[in-house]
């Protein structure tokens, strides 16, 4: 970060107070920081605070009220090595996504030739609203980077996703982006097999047994490996997610048996296998041909074990093949993960706990601990699932390079 020129856009959110710490951390890391505030941001934190910390006057209008000089949005866009908008409110996201340029910050955004990072902050229903999600996708499609909102207590008192990413996380993301010494990972020519999502075990033509998996983690992993040049085959249970990278070959399955058959057919060609799907442990013994009608007060369903995909493939693993499994636990996390690691002949087990806020099903974040077959442990902080996928990619790439 030393010597990097950072434009920091601050919009009108209660989390604007975090901009003070963000400026301080950026300056401490050696960056030059120029703050641009929207008018509404000034109601949450004073320009004087940010000017003092950045050692530069804060800009907010096209014409400087004190001097009458023009704050040239084009020059500002050319000056910066990165534009970071944090917090980015739903209003600011919408204006940037749709090309409005009626204030200094949005005009600078449209003029910027540098990488742009948006760090959203808003209440959880606003963050999950289709219009906000559409605007985030639009901004990403323009080549911008989204620093995902984090999970936690919000100003409304609700708990969920919408918190501005912590300032140290934002600085870490920027530092990683600017790290010229970090060599890009290449897995060109490697065949990688990844499973993702839930399975659905049919009870009758309209009902099934399943779980809360959305497939987000597995799809993020598939994207990371494909971006590193690997030939990725993604065996996916039912999800609403699009294919995350154009080079990925996706095989859609529904049941645990179908997932086993698809992974078994692809297994021998893969040098890396990542089993991140949430596969049902049991399936109905009999599937009704017709919809089961409600009749008796109690209803019993006979279940039988599904095939253990990880154990079956682990027993077939050859020299030069590496397997990574996942363990989502609610208690005795480490001991349960170790049992799974050794019983299924895995090279790594990725452990996460439903007791950790922001981890588990449905979130855009995850907090993992990775244990290898020698029981060496690496713990990671709560991160976006895209960042978690990069961490896992790095671990695999290290092993392949040995």
Q: What residues act catalytically? A: 211
The residue count for the chain: 402
CA separation, residue 241 to residues 200, 250, 258 (Å): 16, 11, 19
The CA distance from 224 to 178, in Å, is 19
Q: 281: annotated binding-site residue?
A: yes
Secondary structure class of 107 (helix, strand, coil): helix
Q: For residue 249, give the H/E element and its range.
A: strand 249-252
Q: Rounded to 5 degrees, what are φ and ψ at 88?
A: -105, 110
Cα 253 → chain centroid:
24
Q: Which residue, among 83, 95, 153, has the nearest Cα to 119 in the 3D structure?
A: 83
Q: 361: annotated binding-site residue?
A: no
Which residues, 6+ apart, have CB-to-CB distance to 172 below 8 Å? none
37 beta partners:
10
The residue with tokens 């804060």 is 58
Q: 291: annotated binding-site residue?
A: yes
* Two structure tokens written together for 317: 């693993």
> Could you tell me if residue 215 is left (phi over 0), alpha (psi between -120 and 50 degrees) or otherwise beta?
left
Q: 216: annotated binding-site residue?
A: no
In the chain, helix, strand, coil percent, each to 5?
Answer: 35, 25, 40
Q: Is the Cα torsion angle 328, 333, 334, 339 positive or negative in sign?
A: negative
Radius of gyration from C-alpha coordinates of the chain: 24
Q: 373: annotated binding-site residue?
A: no
Which residues, 6+ apart, have CB-to-CB distance to 123 below 8 Å? 154, 155, 156, 158, 162
| Binding region for CTP | 281, 291, 326, 340, 344
| Binding region | 281, 291, 326, 340, 344
């Amino acid at each position: 970060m030393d010597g990097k020129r950072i434009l920091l856009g601050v919009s009108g959110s209660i989390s604007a107070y975090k901009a003070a710490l963000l400026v301080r951390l950026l300056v401490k890391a050696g960056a030059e920081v120029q703050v641009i505030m929207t008018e509404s941001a000034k109601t949450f934190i004073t320009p004087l605070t940010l000017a003092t910390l950045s050692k530069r006057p804060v800009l907010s209008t096209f014409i400087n009220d004190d001097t009458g000089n023009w704050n040239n949005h084009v020059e500002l866009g050319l000056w910066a090595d990165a534009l970071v908008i944090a917090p980015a409110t739903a209003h600011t996201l919408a204006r940037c996504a749709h090309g409005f340029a009626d204030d200094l910050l949005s005009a600078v955004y449209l003029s910027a030739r540098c990488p742009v990072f948006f760090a959203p902050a808003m209440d959880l229903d606003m963050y999950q609203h289709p219009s906000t999600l559409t605007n985030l996708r639009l901004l990403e499609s323009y080549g911008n980077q989204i620093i995902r909102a984090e999970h936690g207590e919000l100003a409304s008192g609700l708990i969920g996703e919408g918190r501005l990413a912590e300032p140290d996380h934002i600085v870490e993301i920027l530092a990683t982006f600017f790290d010229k010494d970090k060599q890009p990972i290449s897995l060109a020519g490697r065949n990688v097999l990844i499973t993702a999502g839930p399975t659905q075990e049919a009870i009758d033509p309209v009902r099934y047994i399943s779980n809360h998996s959305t497939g987000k983690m597995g799809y993020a992993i598939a994207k990371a490996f494909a971006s590193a040049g690997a030939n990725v085959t993604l065996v996916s249970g039912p999800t609403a997610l699009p294919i995350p990278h154009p080079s990925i070959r996706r095989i859609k399955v529904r049941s645990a048996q179908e997932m086993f058959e698809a992974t078994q057919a692809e297994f021998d060609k893969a040098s890396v296998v990542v089993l991140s799907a949430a596969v049902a442990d049991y399936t109905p013994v009999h599937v009704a041909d017709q919809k089961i009608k409600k009749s008796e007060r109690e209803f019993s369903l006979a279940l039988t074990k599904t095939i253990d995909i990880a154990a079956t493939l682990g027993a077939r693993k050859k020299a030069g093949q590496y397997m990574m499994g996942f363990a989502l636990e609610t208690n005795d996390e480490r001991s349960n993960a170790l049992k799974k690691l050794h019983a299924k002949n895995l090279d790594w087990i990725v452990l996460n706990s439903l007791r950790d806020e922001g981890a588990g099903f449905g979130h855009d974040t995850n907090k993992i601990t990775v244990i290898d077959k020698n029981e060496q442990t690496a713990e990671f902080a709560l991160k976006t699932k895209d960042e978690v996928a990069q961490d896992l990619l790095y671990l695999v790439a290290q092993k392949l390079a040995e």
